Structure 1
């Protein structure tokens, strides 16, 4: 083997380090990056949709703005998904050709953006300095040509770069020991004296060159924490003696596999500590589930049949009824199966699907309550614009936005569990359904990412939504206090009564359950599980009752149906 063969090679892939020097903060750094990326996607997609839908915006400036939005979507999607994968899953490897493609997209679309900004400057120059020639100069065909010129220039300038790199594709061989530790299972217990290993390696872990002959030489240093440094130094010692590495790895992995395993299913316990009362507990739970199903289906049927209820508030109420049916049906049939037949076994994928449905639709329900608060604000503070603002199309868009938000927020939760936490120390979940933290606490791996993400989503959904709803009602109360008579004030506030009751029914059980879960360490486990079930059951039961009692149209329609049934009998 020649020296040139040892020192150079054609790489199949590279390793991205994320934010060098801040590896231990990657979990926390991922939060602002994730939210910034979500805002970028939402904002630019909204711009494209609005410009496409509104014919009045089909003007040069807004068409250039649409080009900018499309370019920004490509630029952010070229880098942020991979960066978040590094932060969350340590997925740092990138294929050589994928690296070249990413490089091409980054630089070419940056050049395109510069060209579009230049075109927008020309647009403003013509509009201000030559206003009479504006419509004849900035025609639709010219805008298309400018856009094509920007694309052609960027492609022509940047295409040679990846080809030149491909032509000179040789690199020094290296072994990134952090990659070996976390991705190839090199155990952390190769050396027993970590302090001595840290003294031997110094303050920064080595990125090592492995020549293939059992020798490791230092190629450079990257900053890291002392504990990671010790682990990597241990791995470098093992690389110097491959047989020691193989023996130690085999022994450590055998011990590790005895403690942790990949589950094909989990076992739900129902109400832990009350197993002897499961049969009796099934009576109230079964009755509540039946009331929830019948009540919400009745609301859907009445609103569909009664044309006077085809208004924004009742459309939102139908959305709530559908969400409550999904939430209760996601948990109660399985819980009753545990109570009646001891059927606690649930597959891993079914468990993750149940987790997604529960948390996703709880997030969607919070979004619908926020939309209903907006409806009440417009109806009371701007009554003359209510029919023009809250059209059927707008109601549908608000419902769709709430659904998309729920999917975007909760979608990563089961994916992070599936990809980052494949091994579990136990397969028994001390809960009646697959709640996120109940599953994560059983995992063997580092669950900090899941914990931080779950808390962040809880803050975004519960705190921010409730603050926005409270702000809308502050403005509503200010408008109501400006009314002339107490009767008018009472009548106006009465239109908000059902919504306020529904909000309290939804948020109060969740807040109580969360506080007890976080701080009520002396509370017995059965209470935790019962409260977790109640906050999924209480809203589906009480929402139909509240709206049926407080809404005159629904109440009258129900009475008509009951009278008709009585006459038939």
Structure 2
């Protein structure tokens, strides 16, 4: 009985340590984090407002963009408020179950973002390679099913994590060497056999990144082949132009993932704050830059944002 009680014991709370080794700079480092969060909130809320208000933007491409903006809002809001409280007020304490909820949201919405980026690649493939069938293929019903599938996949893959972590006894103390409740940062505090958690975390990450990125690359191979068959230089430029924003969002999301993964394997002896900073960059960068990318590169969005600003000035 005693052994069973020990294996199921967990602390009432964890302590988030922030950026290890750079605690004395937390107040200064909060400035770029706060700015990035403000830009993410402002940019993504503006995108959602414009897409919702303008019936002309209720097309598949913009509906997927609205999904992306919603995911980015949740993703950044699941970590940044607590992170800023840690930096500004030294509020390190986070309830054990609140930690599990935060972990579930940040990992599941990262998976959803990958799925939506894949759906947007499919949207560009149909628009360029099957333009006559665009409206018949990408119907409202299919878009709804794609959104539901993205949510279902993320929830299915991430639901086991909180239950797996509840069964551990955390004998290595409550201090998490991170700014938020990242899965492996919590696992490192657990006693007992954590091999399944390690394998499961790596398997899910590899499954999502490799599979989704593979299909994105395949989509663009077909798109490139179709575009190169166009005889008009202007037509080629226009076709590629419709993909620029999506390619930017793909690079913004996957580049930090790849860099962080390589850092964990190649630079294992690097200072802990290096890994934490890369993890924070991964969480903050896409939500901040995606609205900027689409606002600058998408004519319809840019015109409506300018119209909104000019109207307010008047």
TM-score by length of 1: 0.54
Residue 245 of structure 2 corresponds to residue 498 of structure 1: yes
Q: Is residue 2:83 matched to residue 1:265?
A: no
Q: Secondary structure at the match of 1:267?
A: strand
The answer to whether residue 293 in structure 2 is matched with residue 475 in structure 1 is: no
3-state SS, counterpart of residue 78 of structure 2: helix
Distance, in Å, in 2 between the alignment partners of 1:488 and 1:391 is 26
Alignment correspondent of 1:278: 26
Taking the TM superposition and a 5 Å limit, the aligned residue runs for 1:346-361 are 346-361=94-109
Q: Match for residue 308 of structure 1?
A: 56
Q: Which residue of 2 aligns with 1:411?
A: 159
How far off its partner does 1:261 sit?
5.9
Q: Distance in 2 between the 1:484 and 1:308 partners?
A: 30
- Residue 186 of structure 2 corresponds to 439
Of 304, 308, 327, 2:75 maps to 327
Corresponding position of 2:200 = 453
Structure 1 outlier segments of 4+, above 6 Å: none
d(CA) in 1 for partners of 2:39 and 2:285? 10
SS in 2 for 1:355: helix
8 Å Cα contact 1:364-1:406 kept in structure 2? yes
Tell me the CA shift for residue 486 of structure 1.
1.7
Structure 1 residue aligned with 2:297? 550
Deviation digits for residues 475-526 of structure 1 (CA, Å, limit 9, x no counterpart): 1111111111222111111111100110000000111112112221232111
The alignment status of 1:392 with 2:210, answered yes or no, reads no
Q: State the distance in 1 between where 2:166 and 2:10 align.
A: 11
What is the aligned partner in structure 2 of residue 317 from structure 1? 65
Residue equivalent to 2:269: 522
- 1:377–1:476: 8 Å Cα contact kept in structure 2? yes
Whether contact under 8 Å (1:261, 1:424) holds in the other structure is no
Match of 2:287 among 540, 543, 548: 540
The superposition leaves residues 330-351 of structure 1 with CA deviations (integer Å, 9 ceiling, x where unpaired) of: 1100010001111010011000
Distance in 2 between the 1:449 and 1:522 partners? 24
Preserved contact between residue 261 and residue 425 of structure 1 (Cα < 8 Å) = no
Q: Matches of residues 234-253 of structure 1 in structure 2 within 5 Å?
A: none
After TM superposition, give the deviation of residue 184 of structure 1 in Å: 6.9
Q: Secondary structure at the match of 1:346?
A: strand
Contact 2:10/2:166 (CA < 8 Å) preserved in 1? no
Q: Give the whole-Å Cα distance in 1 for the aligned partners of 2:86 and 2:3.
A: 38
| Separation in structure 2 between the aligned mates of residue 501 and residue 287 of structure 1, nearest angstrom | 21
Q: Which has the larger radius of gyration?
A: 1
CA–CA distance in 1 between the matches of 2:118 and 2:191?
A: 38
1:288 aligns with 2:36: yes
Q: How many angstroms does 1:294 deviate by?
A: 0.5
Q: How does 1:47-196 map to 2 (within 5 A)?
A: 185=3
2:110 to 362, 380, 383: 362
**Deviation readout 1:201-250 (Å, 9 max, x if unpaired):** xxxxxxxxxxxxxxxxxxxxxxxxxxxxxxxxxxxxxxxxxxxxxxxxxx
Count of aligned pairs between the two proteins: 314
Unaligned stretches of 5+ residues in structure 2: none
Q: Is the 8 A contact 2:72 2:287 kept in 1?
A: yes
* Structure 1: stretches of 5+ with no match in the other structure: 1-182, 187-252
Tell me if the contact between 1:268 and 1:432 (Cα under 8 Å) persists in the aligned partners.
Answer: yes
User: What is the rounded CA distance, in whole Å, between the counterparts of 2:254 and 2:188 in structure 1?
Assistant: 25
CA distance in 2, matches of 1:560, 1:374: 30
Superposed CA deviations along residues 78-131 of structure 1, whole A, max 9, x for unmatched, are xxxxxxxxxxxxxxxxxxxxxxxxxxxxxxxxxxxxxxxxxxxxxxxxxxxxxx
